[in-house]
Structure 1
Amino acid sequence: MLFFLLFNIIFAIISATAGNDCEIENFDQVESIVKSCTDITIKNLVVPAGITLELDLKEGTTLTFTGVTTFEHTPWSGPLIRLRGSKITVQGTPGSLLNGQGELYWDHIGDKGPKKPQFMKIEAFDGSVIKNLNILNCPHHCIYIGRSDGLTISGWVIDNSLGDQNNFTGHNTDGFDVSAATNLIIENTSVINQDDCVAIRYGSNILVRNMYCAGGHGLSLSAGFNYTSYTENTVKNVTIRDSVIVRSANGIHVKTHADAYKGLIEDVTYENIYLSGITNFGVNVQQDYINGSASGVPNNNIPIHNLKLINIHGNVLSTESNNAMKVYILCGNKGCEGWEWSNVNITGGARSSVCNYIPAGYEC
C-alpha cells in the first residue's frame, strides 16, 4: 500500500512539472516552447520593446493567454504579435489582457508621426479559432488578418477608448483590417477606437456579425490599395449584419481608389444595422479616393455590383457643426450596378442626402 501511495505522489509531481514545461512566463522561453508544445499557456508575459512575439504554432495547437501580457514601448512598426497556424485555437481566460500601451505612442497624427507598431498580424487556416481576447490600447492598427482561410474570430474586446481623451490623441487605430482572407467569420466582438471598426480590403466569403463599434469610422470596405493586381483589389461575397455603430464618423462606408489598378466589389450585403450619433455620413459610398483622400472625381476602375442594404436604421447628428448627411453616393460612370436597398430609414442630418446613383428600393 505504501508503495502505491508513493508511486501516485511521484507521478502527480512529474505530471505537474511536465504541464508547466509549456507555460511561458519569460520571453526567453517563447521560441523553444512554441516549437515543442501543442498546449501552451502565456502567463503575465512582458515582451521586450522592439521585438515581435512570434507565435508560429504547430498544427492543432491550443494557446491560452492568462493574466496581463504587456508590450514594452519603443517607436517601431511592429507587429507586436505575429500569429500563424493551422487548426489552432487561441483564447484568453476571463480577466486576461493584452496591453499594447498605446497611450505611450498616441500623438493625434497616427501614420504621419513617429513610427507606431501594428498590434497583431494573423495568418490562420483550416478551422482555426481565436476567441475571447481582450486588447487594450493598440498603438496603431490593431488587427491585420492576412492570408487566411477558414478562420473564426469570436468574443473579442478591442478597447482604445483612452485614445478619445487628451484632445483625441489616438489616430489610425483600425480595429480589423482584412486582406487576402477567405471563409472568414468575425463575430460577437466590440471595437472602441478612432478609425475603421472593420475594413475589408480584399478577400471573399466573409461574414461579420454581432459587432459593436464605437468612436471610429464604421463598418467599411476599402478596395484599391494595390496598383498592379486585379485579385488584390477584389472583394466578393461579404455579409455584415446584426451590428451597432455609435458615436462614429460613418456608419456604413464603401470606398474605392480611383487611381488604382482595376478590381471589383461584388455581392456585398449590410443587414440589420443600427446607427446612433453618426457625425459625417450614415451611409457613404464613394469611388473617388486618391492617395487615401476623397478627390471628388469618381472612377469606374473598381465597379460595385450588387450592393444590398436591408433594415438599416438610426440617426446622424443634426448640428451644423457636424454638417452630417444621411446618405452620400458618388459613383463613376457605370461604376455602380444592381444595388437593392430595402427598409433603409436614417433620420437627422444637417444636409440633404446626395446620390448620383439611385439604388432600387430607395429614394435619395
Structure 2
Amino acid sequence: MRLNSIGSLAAAFALLSPAWATGHSRIPSRPDVVPGPYNAGWAMPPSPPRDEGRYCYVRSGCHKKRDDAPHIVRALKKCNNGGTVVFDKSYVIGSPLDLRFLRHIDVVITGDIAFDDSDVYYWNNNSIKYKFQNQSVFWMLGGEDVNIYGDLTLEEGKSVIDGRGQAYWEEIVTNTALFRPMLFAFDGMKGATMSNLRMRNPPHWFNIIANSSDIIISNMDLRAQSLNDVKIANSDGWDTYRSDRVVIQDSYILNTDDCVSFKPNSTNVVVQNLECVGSHGISVGSLGQYANETDIVENLHVYNVSMADASDFARIKVWPGVHTRFQTHLAGGGGSGRVRNVTYDLLRSANNDRAITITQCYGQSNKTLCNEFPANLTIEDITIKNVWGTTSAKLDPQAGTLVCSAPDRCRNIRVENITVTVPSGKPPVYECRNMDNGLLQLTCTEESSGDRDTEQG
C-alpha cells in the first residue's frame, strides 16, 4: 500500500469536525496518492487543499423505487470549485449522470452507490453512448483537479460502487445485442486521482479512462462474481483510450476479461503492483479495428504484476488488414498505426493459458486470410523480460505465441529471462512467426495449438 494520510493533526481535526457536528460518519482524510516505483514521466499537477468547512453531504432517498441522481448533481454543483462532496449513505442511481463540469473538488465515498437494475432495457436505451466499440456508461466524470476516494478499512459493502451486473449477464444469454453500460468513466478529465474504493459487478467493463490526462488510480479492489454460474461477459478492469500520462497501481482485480487494456491512442501509461485473477491479460489493444483511422499506443511500462487463471498475460492484439466480423456489436480490421516502446517486466504467471501473446489476426480464425491481408499496424521496440511461474494444461507444451502477419510488421521485439514451466514438465515452446528469433530467448516453433479469441475488444 502506498497511500499515506496528509496534513497536520490540526488539519485532520478541522476535516473531521463537520461530520461530528452534523451527525454524519467520519470523513477520511484525502490520501496522498504517489506513483511508485515508476511514474509516467511527469509531475502530477498539484491539488490544493479544499475549503475547510465546505462539505456537501449527498442526500439519499427513502423509497424502494428511487433515483438519487438529482441529489448527486445538486451536491456536486454546490461544492464545485473548492469543496468536498460526501457519500456516506446508501444510494441508488436510476438515470444517467454526465458530470463533466467538475473543478477543484474532492469526492469521498464511505457509503455505497448502486445502479438500478430493475430494468436493464432502460439503461440499454438511456446510458451515455460511445461510438468506440459500441460502448456505453452509467455515469461520466470530467473536468480538472478531482480526487475520488473511499476507505478500504471499512467493512465489505462500504466505499463501494456496484453495477449490479447479474441481471445483465442473465439477459444476454438470450439477447446478445443488449447494450450493457460500463460502471465508471473518466472522460475529459485533467488531473485526477481515484483510490481506496471497491467496485463490484459491472454489466460491462469496470472503467474507461478516455480523453484524459494526468490520472492516478491506486489501491482499488475490483471484483466481478456471478451467481448460479451465469457467464460474466467483458468485465475489463481498466481501459485507457485517447489518454496520456496515466498510472494504475497497487490494486486487486478479479474478472473475466482484460485486467488492463490499452486502447487506441494510449500514451505514457504505467501499470504496476497489480494482482489479476481470471482475466485475459495486460493487453495492448485491440488496435486497427477501424479502417481509415490511425491507432497509436506507445511508451507503456508494465511492472510487477501477478496474473492467475487467465487466458493470456503479456499481450498485444491487432486486427488484420481487412474487415472481419467477430461478434455481435464487434467487427473491424483495416486500421493503421503503431505500437512502440512497450516494456513488460517482473511478471508472475500462475496457471495462465499463455504467458506471452502477440497476434495480428485478432478476431479472425481464418489465418490464411490474415496472411493474405497483413495488419496495417507495426509493432516495434517491445521488451518482455523476467517472467516466471506456470501455464495451464490447455496448450501444453505451448506457453505462448508471437506471430506477426508479415516480416516487415514487427521490429526489435525482445524476450529475455523467461522461466515459465508447463504442467507436463516438457520444455515449453512458443509459436513464433515473422519475428527476429535471435532476439527471442525462447524455444520457437511455427506450429500453433492456439484457439480463437472469445472476448470483446
Which aligned runs of 4 or more in structure 1 are off by greater than 6 angstroms? none
Pairwise CA distance, 1:113: 4.5
Please tell me whether residue 146 in structure 1 is matched to residue 146 in structure 2.
no
Answering whether residue 452 of structure 2 is matched by residue 354 of structure 1, we say: no
Q: How does 1:1-364 map to 2 (within 5 A)?
A: 16=21, 22-26=56-60, 27=68, 28-37=70-79, 38-49=83-94, 51-73=95-117, 74-75=119-120, 76-77=123-124, 78=127, 79-94=137-152, 95=154, 96-107=159-170, 112-123=176-187, 125-160=189-224, 162-163=225-226, 166-202=228-264, 203-222=266-285, 223-230=287-294, 233-258=295-320, 259-278=333-352, 280-289=353-362, 292-296=363-367, 297-298=370-371, 299-318=374-393, 325-333=398-406, 334-348=408-422, 352-356=429-433, 357=435, 358=437, 360-363=439-442, 364=444
Q: Return the letter of the residue paired with 1:308.
A: T
- Which SS does the other structure have where 2:360 is aligned? strand
Which deviates more, 324-333 or 200-209? 324-333
Q: Distance in 2 between matches of 1:24 and 1:71?
A: 16
| 67-76 vs 295-304, greater mean Cα deviation | 295-304
Report the identity percentage. Answer: 21
Answer whether contact 1:57 1:88 (CA < 8 A) is retained. Answer: no
Deviations 1:252-298 (A, max 9, x none): 121111122211000000000111011x3221100012xx3454225
Cα distance in 2, alignment partners of residues 359 and 187 from structure 1:
33
Instruction: Tell me the secondary structure at the aligned position of residue 346 of structure 1.
Output: strand
Unaligned runs of 5+ in 1: 1-11
Answer yes or no: is the 8 Å Cα contact 2:55–2:86 preserved in 1. no
Aligned mates of 1:261, 1:241 — CA distance in 2: 29
SS state of the match for residue 339, structure 1?
strand
Partner of 1:9: none
Q: Amino acid of the residue matched to residue 77 of structure 2?
A: K
The answer to which structure has the higher strand fraction is: 1
Deviations 1:15-51 (A, max 9, x none): 94696861112323222221120211123242343x1
Alpha-carbon contact 2:141-2:189 (below 8 Å) kept: no
Alpha-carbon RMSD:
2.6
Normalised to the residue count of structure 1, the TM-score between the two structures is: 0.87
State the distance in 2 between where 1:213 and 1:235 align: 22
Secondary structure, counterpart of 1:196 in structure 2: coil
Distance (Å, rounded) in 2 between the aligned partners of 1:48 and 1:126:
25
8 Å contact kept, 1:107–1:113: no
AA aligned opposite 2:432: C
**1:185, 1:208 within 8 Å by CA — same for their partners in 2?**
yes
Distance 1:172 1:99, change over 3 A: same
Give the Å deviation of 1:234: 0.9
State how many pairs are aligned. 343
Q: Distance in 1 between matches of 2:213 and 2:438?
A: 32
- Structure 1 distance, partners of 2:289, 2:376, is 12
